[in-house]
Chains A and B, each alone.
Chain A
Amino acid sequence: MGAEEDKKLIIDTLKCKTLKTKFYLKDFNNMFPDRSPREVSKLVNKMVAEGLLEYWSSGSTTMIGLKGAGIQHETEDCKE
């Protein structure tokens, strides 16, 4: 698969998940069982730099989701 196809696979897979908006890096590794985790993390980090994905951090753990999905800065101070 080419880089664009890989990105599409990630985006399509994340869009299918309706209950969750943030994912562990491991979830991305599972999308590419034949690739090394290092390659996958580089791809994910590239997609963050391109504005397709974004990080969420608790301080100790980092999760990754589609850019704009789930709770964002603008909505943090809104009542749920």
Chain B
Amino acid sequence: MAKRKTPMLDELEKGKWPSFVSDIRQEAEWRNQTDVDLQTPKEVCDDLLDLLELSLKDQEGHWKHGGVAGVFGYGGGVIGRYCDQPEQFPAIKDFHTLRVNQPSSYFYKTEFLRQMCELWERRGSGITNMHGSTGDIILLGTTTPQLEEVFWELTHNLNQDLGGSGSNLRSPNCCIGKSRCEFACYDTQEACRNFTMEYQDELHRPSFGYKFKMKFDGCPNGCVASIARSDMSVIGTWKDDIRIDQEAVRAYVGGEFKPDGGAHAGRDWGPFDIVKEVIDLCPTHCMGWNGNKLGINNKECNRCMHCINTMPRALRIGTETGASILFGAKAPILEGAQLSTLTIPFMPMEEPFNELKELIEKIWDWWSEEGRSRERLGELMQRKGFAKFLEVCEVKPDPRMIKEPRSNPYIFWKEADIPGGWERDIKDFRKRHQK
């Protein structure tokens, strides 16, 4: 247990929600009783709790900002954390974080999880975060001498590598994809693994001015929220028509199938109303129902997925599938949150993904050349303009890239594009136009 009284932490254990304080106390108790040959101080969890209580009391953090810590040959995956009160809390004077590259879609064997927990209790604090926002397994708190030891055991015994941190490519992340989901328009796990292996150098050694994230969503439902959280969002889509099974549509209307796969079953919402719950909710109003047949004007569909999610047995994604590629999302840094911008409306997604790799490398070169230190790709796109970004990508402007006419124009004519350039003969002009 904590060495001091922790009244404020005690408050965080009250209520019906799970408490991280309770979890750390449980680990502290285990560490005090175990006969495992612990390689880090037994009191790490006690000191951590006491430090947190002090931070709450002082209303300021007691961790220094970063540090020189890592494993040989890698410039990412380890985040140096040093306490600014090492005399009061000697067990956590160095308490480094490790980011471990997660397996695609988080498929684990329980055997692996046991091995990893055993390793981390022995050589670390026993505290994990499954998973960090980027997707990695986060191992919180170990000492500097243990870093190489943990790394060796992870790579040799668990066959697991460190993930990205700092100004590196961060661990690519993907949704559950074709392994479990019928909406997946491409194999997200294959893409995620392929890009992870291809860009090992960028993942482990800082190559950029700042972080770069890529995420793979199998369909526009966006289960890894790539559109909001990654510099490069790869979102599955289809080119042809939504496949309709009219008999199954009628079965939904007749109450034979539950809408939304039986979700929202906590209360009685009344019988399924296809007009109210599907047709009228279509954002582009491209659907119609005549009481017997469902019609979709596929040209107007913007892939919102609502109708497919509501009636998955009746509606299916098209058969010509691939992905839309978007760039530049980020959380608030300089100018607030920004979603990524559609750049390639459709790209086939087949191994070895060369088309996408060629594109991303062009963008990396431009970002490295033009980007400022700590400037995300999305900020550079904003600063230089989308027209310039398209020029870098060697992609022509396309109406699908803009939200609505005249609201976000970015197409500017250059003199070379105009027959005769900017120069005009004023006399010739005056022949046709009076003053």
B173 touches A (CB below 8 Å)? no
Cα-based distance from A37 to B371 in the complex (angstroms): 11
B67's contact among A25, A27, A76, by CB below 8 Å, is which? A76
For A35-73 the 0/1 string (1 means CB < 8 A from B) is: 011100100010011000011111111101000000111
A26 touches B (CB below 8 Å)? yes
Q: From residue A79, how far is it (CB to closest CB) to chain B in Å?
A: 9
Query: Can you name the residue of chain B whose Cβ is closest to the Cβ of A60?
Result: B211
Which residues does chain A contribute within 8 Å of B87, judged by CB atoms? 77
Q: From residue A33, how far is it (CB to closest CB) to chain B in Å?
A: 11
B135 touches A (CB below 8 Å)? no
B236 touches A (CB below 8 Å)? no
Which residues does chain A contribute within 8 Å of B64, judged by CB atoms? 76
Q: From residue B80, how far is it (CB to closest CB) to chain A in Å?
A: 6
Q: What's the tally of chain B residues with a CB closer than 8 Å to chain A?
A: 39
Partner-binding segment picked from B152-160, B200-208, B341-349, B426-434: B200-208
Q: Say yes or no: A76 contacts B94, CB within 8 Å.
A: yes
Which residues does chain B contribute within 8 Å of A56, judged by CB atoms? 66-68, 80
Q: Say yes or no: B165 contacts A59, CB within 8 Å.
A: yes
**Cβ-Cβ contact count across A and B, 8 Å cutoff:** 104
Cα-based distance from A38 to B97 in the complex (angstroms): 28
Grouping DSSP codes into helix (H, G, I), strand (E, B) and loop, the B interface class, with mixed when no group exceeds half, is loop
Which residues does chain A contribute within 8 Å of B123, judged by CB atoms? none
A24 touches B (CB below 8 Å)? yes
Which residues does chain B contribute within 8 Å of A61, judged by CB atoms? 166-167, 210-211, 373-374
Cα-based distance from A37 to B369 in the complex (angstroms): 6
Q: Say yes or no: B206 contacts A45, CB within 8 Å.
A: yes
Which residues does chain A contribute within 8 Å of B73, judged by CB atoms? 49
Q: From residue B7, how far is it (CB to closest CB) to chain A in Å?
A: 28
B220 touches A (CB below 8 Å)? no
B76's contact among A54, A62, A72, by CB below 8 Å, is which? A62
Q: Say yes or no: B206 contacts A38, CB within 8 Å.
A: no
Q: Say yes or no: B166 contacts A77, CB within 8 Å.
A: no
A57's contact among B76, B364, B371, by CB below 8 Å, is which? B76
Cα-based distance from A24 to B208 in the complex (angstroms): 9
A57 with B67, Cβ < 8 A, contacts A38-B207, A45-B206 known: yes
Q: Say yes or no: B82 contacts A76, CB within 8 Å.
A: yes
Q: From residue B293, how far is it (CB to closest CB) to chain A in Å?
A: 54
Which residues does chain A contribute within 8 Å of B365, judged by CB atoms? 36-38
Query: Can you name the residue of chain B whose Cβ is closest to the Cβ of A73?
Result: B144
Which residues does chain B contribute within 8 Å of A25, judged by CB atoms? 167, 206-209, 373
Provide a sorted-by-A list of 10 A–B residue pairs whose CB atoms are within 8 angstroms.
A24-B373, A41-B206, A55-B70, A57-B69, A58-B166, A60-B210, A61-B373, A62-B76, A73-B69, A73-B80
